[in-house]
Structure 1
Amino acid sequence: MAFRHDLELHRSKLQDIRSIMHSMKTLANMETHKLERRIRAQQAIAENINQMAKDFLDAYPQGLPVTPLQSALNVVLLIGSERGFCGDFNGQIWQTFQAQFDQYAEKSLKLESESSSEPQVIAIGGKLQTFLSGVVSSEPDRFSSTVRYLQGADVTEEIAHVVESIANILEAANERSQPVELVAIYHEPLKQRIITEPLLPPFKGLVEQPDSSAITSSKGRATQQPILNLNPVDFYLELTEQFVAQSIQRILTSSLMAENQSRIQHLENATRHLDKKNEELLIKSNALRQEEIIEEIEIILLNQSSA
């Protein structure tokens, strides 16, 4: 009797846990639909900025500011999760960075003339911070880069605050008149894989124009220069600022959507496991109840026979 009551109590607790997980999954679903609409709008903005940059670079290829990248500050954005229940979301980000970091170290050894420093890491997300605090401390010799932690976005409305925090860090580097090479590593929800996306220097694919021949270099150039209210260098700097801010916002939005998608899948697996466990406990409880009924019937029959 007591054991069956313990099983029923355990079943009740599992049902409460399942109810909480179901609510979390519903919230994640709602957030995913909201993020999906925002991502579509941000992709359209990104296409407009890239097209504007292409038109500008075609018309003013010689008016771009040149920065000495050999002494640049290398910054890597690791976009992790702010909350849990999303599987190995943060571990995959760290594994990707480790692979990139090993390639960077090999490149630095080969290019002895370049006085480049190890990358400085900006880790975004509370759960990523918890994950990295243990990993980095266990490998101090292998990983000596500066790690700075920022709180991630829990919902869509908090993304702007994270973008502002990142902008303040980049602005501090700009005040030291030190060029920045910025790379972001994040989960991409549509392709469902981790992306390593360079942000600074900007428009890298558009700046590196082929110069094998005059015909090739002039191919695709604008036939008429765009009308600018600023000089080309100032316009390029303003466009770069807009590009970086919009790209970081797009990346954070994509990562948050991927985080919620991973959370939905993780919670679905967990609720499925709870349902299976609850069904097993119900079968055991019913079997115990049947045994109790049989015992009660036997007691009644014994009492009748003795009378």
Structure 2
Amino acid sequence: MSRRAQVEEHMARLMEISGILAAMKTLASIETHKFARHMARQSALVASIETAAADFLAFHPDFRDGATETGGAGRLLVAIGSERGFCGDFNEAVVAALEAMPEPGPRLLVVGRRLAGKLERHPRLVGWLDGPNTAEEVRPMLDRLLDQLHALRERPPAWARLGVLAHAPEGVVVPYPVLPMAPPPPPRPAYPPRLNLDPAEFFAGLTGHYLEAKLPCLLHGSLLAENRRRLEHMERALARMQGKLEDLGRSRNALRQEEITEEIEMILLSAEARLGGIN
């Protein structure tokens, strides 16, 4: 195989890879828009629940931050990473934030296969779950996560405090306290909320609704940041790929020019040889 043929074969492989990367970039862009829409709706729901909780707690302060804590064993942290790669140092940033936490640290439940692979030997790891890749996979994954949380709550030592370590949509890793629910106290309303349930029963139900609203909000935010990171990663990879293709194209043209020059030289030498034979 000639050098030019080798270069063209290499270019064909790079063009095929470039097409795959472009398709992945398009999918990441689509998912980014979907997660942004979900985030807006979910954030509004979380805000309304927090407002209702703040009004309730203003007149029932005994329910505010009433959970007891037993060192790190009484705390559970859900660390959200990625299920797929091609997102730069997305998972490494979560690991770094986890390592920066003071001791004694909480028990750890990991979401995302890529992050779980980096934390599989972590001493406080109590389990991990496959993470969602698309917006449609968030709800089934959330059901599995809630089942796991309830199972860990029933197994001693039961967790009393729940937090989430995840990327915010802006791309920064943030530790979010989730339970016990403790919204900032608003100005005290003039009249207490009218309840049709016992206050303890009401607040338990509100806490359940809050958990089911807050977790998908944080998942969507993490997935939004992940796909934004993936878009940036793909754009850089495609730019490097395009630069490599341009370099190979110049090399191919130079080799083709050399082949043409050699062919012309061969034609001239052959003509001179025939003319010499005639003379």
Counterpart position of 1:29: 29
**Are the structure 2 counterparts of residues 168 and 257 from structure 1 closer, same or farther at C-alpha, using a change threshold of 3 Å?**
same
Question: Counterpart of 1:192?
Answer: 171
Cα deviation digits, residues 134-153 of structure 1 (max 9, x gap): xx3xxxxxx52134110000
Q: Is the contact made by 2:82 and 2:114 (CA closer than 8 Å) also made in structure 1? A: yes
The answer on 1:154 being equivalent to 2:133 is yes
- Stretches of structure 2 lacking an aligned partner (at least 5 in a row): 275-279
Match of 2:273 in 1: 306
Deviation at 1:62, TM superposition (A): 3.4
Q: Which residue of 1 aligns with 2:115?
A: 128
Q: Give the drift of 1:204.
A: 5.6
SS of equivalent residue, structure 2 residue 145: helix
Quick check: 1:145 aligned with 2:145?
no
Query: 1:179-222 deviations in whole A, cap 9, x for unaligned?
Result: 42111111111x3311110111211644xxxxxxxxxxxx8212
Kept in 1, the 8 Å contact 2:163–2:179? The answer is yes
| Conserved? CA contact 1:64–1:236, under 8 Å | no
CA distance in 2, matches of 1:185, 1:261: 18
CA contact (8 A) 1:14 1:274 kept: yes
The offset of 1:168, in angstroms, is 1.1
Paired position in structure 2 for 1:239 = 206
Counterparts of 1:250-261 in structure 2, within 5 Å, are: 250-261=217-228
Aligned partner of 1:43 in structure 2 is 43
Whether the 8 Å CA contact 1:67–1:179 is kept in 2: the answer is: no
Range with bigger deviation, 70-79 or 264-273? 70-79
Structure 1 equivalent of residue 62 of structure 2: 62
Normalising by structure 2, we get a TM-score of 0.92
Say how many residue pairs are matched.
272
- 1: CA distance, partners of 2:161 / 2:237: 41
| Cα displacement (A) at 1:70 | 2.9
Question: How big is the shift at 1:275?
Answer: 0.4
**Cα deviation digits, residues 5-59 of structure 1 (max 9, x gap):** 0000000000000000000000110111111111111111111011111111112
Distance 2:85 2:64 in 1: 44
Q: What RMSD, in angstroms, separates the aligned Cα atoms of the two structures?
A: 1.8
Supply the distance in 2 between the matched residues of 1:65 and 1:3 (Cα, whole angstroms): 72
- Which of 236, 245, 259 is matched with 1:278 structurally? 245
After TM superposition, the score normalised by the length of structure 1 is: 0.84
Confirm or deny: 8 A CA contact 2:53 2:183 kept in the other structure. Answer: no
Name the structure 1 match of 2:98. 97
Please give the alpha-carbon distance, in whole angstroms, between the structure 1 residues aligned to 2:167 and 2:32. Answer: 14
Is the 1:55–1:222 contact (alpha carbons within 8 Å) kept by the matching residues of 2?
yes
Contact 2:64 2:182 in 1 (8 A): no
Q: 1:15 to 1:176 in 2, by over 3 A?
A: closer
Deviation at residue 279 of structure 1 after TM alignment: 0.5
Structure 1 residue aligned with 2:277: none
Structure 2 match to 1:296: 263
> In structure 2, the residue corresponding to 1:202 is in which secondary structure?
coil
How many Å separate the matches in 2 of 1:65 and 1:147? 25
| Amino acid of the structure 2 residue aligned with 1:129 | A
Same amino acid, percent of matched pairs: 35
Q: Which residue of the partner structure matches residue 150 of structure 2?
A: 171
